[in-house]
Structure 1
Amino acid sequence: MADVPLPPLSLIVSSTSEPTSYLSSALALLFEPSPPLFSDLVPELEDTLLQSTSPITTYSELIDGALQIIRAWPDELQARFIGAHPRIGEVKGLSAFSAKEQGQGQAGLASARTTATPPKVLERLAHLNACYEYQYPGLRYITFVNGRPRSAIAEEMEGVLGIPHSLSPDQPPVEAVGVVEAGSPEWRSELSRAVEDVGRIAKSRLAALGMQ
């Protein structure tokens, strides 16, 4: 399922084991690799681990610690971080976890291959992604799929955008959805929701590995 296994948590929390490479590997697996993850999250979380008086004992706690750091970042850095996750409906260049999460339900990759998403749904998702990124400049639509089919996510996106349900590949026109000003309360609320869903995705990946 995963490209590489998670390293033992002891290698990350021990100050004598040069934990940076282990921490980078673990966070890239759980959160998706991205420049902000390596340049900002890894060193900040490593400093937190070294200075903490309450030792981390589970990967779930490590994810919580990472989210606490991410929430304190400037909006632009948070947006770049969530942008590392693939767009809903993408089918190429996905990590093993993303491929499973973008599949056709909880049965995993084998089921996804045998029950392919209809092309009309993929076309609709591509349009909805374009609409969302126009409406929320600088953001990418992130949601905790949790085994739902892509058709259900399309309907969810339509609800967020406030547009009627359809399978049209180009309606409404992208420019018709309106623009939410970057940095406004509504824009920041959507950014915050995306960050929380990234955390939920990370914990779901952890559970899929049989870890806590």
Structure 2
Amino acid sequence: MEPLPSLDWIRSSSNAQPDSPLAVILGSLLEPSTVLIQTLVPQLHDKLQNYPSSLNTYAQLIDLAINQVRTWDKDLQAQFILGHPRIGETKNLSTFSANEQGAAHPTATPTPPAVLARLAHLNAYYERCYPQLVYIIFVDGRSRAQIVRVLEDHLGLEPSLSIDNPPLEAATIVEVGSQKWLNELERAVTDIGLIAKSRLRSLGAE
């Protein structure tokens, strides 16, 4: 990734277009998506134009972004979450996601196909349980095999490497907008902020 643009440049930029320094850095740290470019970037740009002193560190930028996302209606927050790749994906990943998923390290020990297949099934099971959401978690150095156990526990499932057990039809569907669904939405938004701050640390920035 290119070096981070200076905070002064971000504060002073009058440009909220997709190629603006604000859009580039938010797309890198939070993952690029239509809702990020069309909604989050213009909103943060306006805030920084009116209150430039509110931005003194990149960590503050992430906090500002996540707090702004939390003001959105729930459907828009769900669209924001969908901008993140699923755990275990190996294609069409951003540079950061490729590093976090292990896809950018050809010398690293490959994830066994059975683990990838189990993750794919668990992701599908989760998405049946929680319509309009994808499973987001701050990996924090854990392997895909470890995340399998975390996701199984999160879903209340017994440990397994089956690619189809339990069947998707067995999933209990959580009503969109219910408190359980909203709690999951909030957890995912929080973890996206944690992921972004971890990415900052990998760049030697805070």
1:113–1:130: structure 2 CA closer, same or farther, 3 Å change rule?
farther
AA at the equivalent of 2:137:
T
Using the TM superposition, give the Cα deviation of residue 114 of structure 1 relative to its aligned residue in structure 2, in angstroms: 2.9
User: Which AA in structure 2 matches 1:203?
Assistant: K
Unaligned 5+ segments in structure 2 are none
Match of 1:174 in 2: 168
C-alpha separation between the residues in 2 aligned to 1:93 and 1:50?
34
- 2:11–2:52 contact (8 Å) kept in structure 1: no
Aligned alpha-carbon RMSD (Å): 1.4
1:142–1:194 Cα contact (<8 Å) kept:
yes
Q: CA–CA distance in 2 between the matches of 1:176 and 1:113?
A: 39
Percent identical: 53
CA separation in 2, counterparts of 1:113 and 1:37? 33
Q: Following the alignment from structure 2 to structure 1, what is the Cα–Cα distance between the partners of residues 124 and 35?
A: 23
Q: Deviations over 1:138-165 (max 9, x none)?
A: 0000000011000111111111111101
Contact 1:11-1:19 within 8 A present in 2 as well: no
- Cross-structure match for 1:5: 3
Kindly report structure 1 stretches of 4+ aligned residues shifted beyond 6 Å: none
- Residues 138-195 of structure 1, C-alpha deviation per residue, up to 9 Å, x if partnerless? 0000000011000111111111111101000000001102100000000000000000
Which residue identity lines up with residue 95 of structure 1 in the other structure?
A: S
| Residues 1:65 and 2:61 aligned together | no
SS at match of 2:55: coil
Between the aligned partners of 2:10 and 2:108, the Cα distance in structure 1 is 39
Gaps of 5+ in 1: none
| Most deviating of 86-95 and 5-14 | 5-14
In structure 2, give the amino acid aligned to 1:124: R
Q: Does 1:18 find its partner at 2:14?
A: yes
Equivalent in the alignment of 1:124: 118
CA distance in 1, matches of 2:46, 2:200: 23
Q: Distance in 2 between matches of 1:53 and 1:83?
A: 30
Q: Distance in 1 between matches of 2:153 and 2:81?
A: 21
Q: TM-score, normalised by structure 2?
A: 0.95
Q: C-alpha deviations, 1:98-138, integer Å up to 9, x for none?
A: 0111129xxxx43x643000000000000000000000000
Who is 2:202 aligned against? 208
8 Å contact kept, 1:31–1:198: yes
SS in 2 for 1:138: coil
CA distance in 1, matches of 2:54, 2:113: 49
Q: How far apart are the structure 2 equivalents of 1:9 and 1:114?
A: 35
Matched, 1:55 2:54: yes
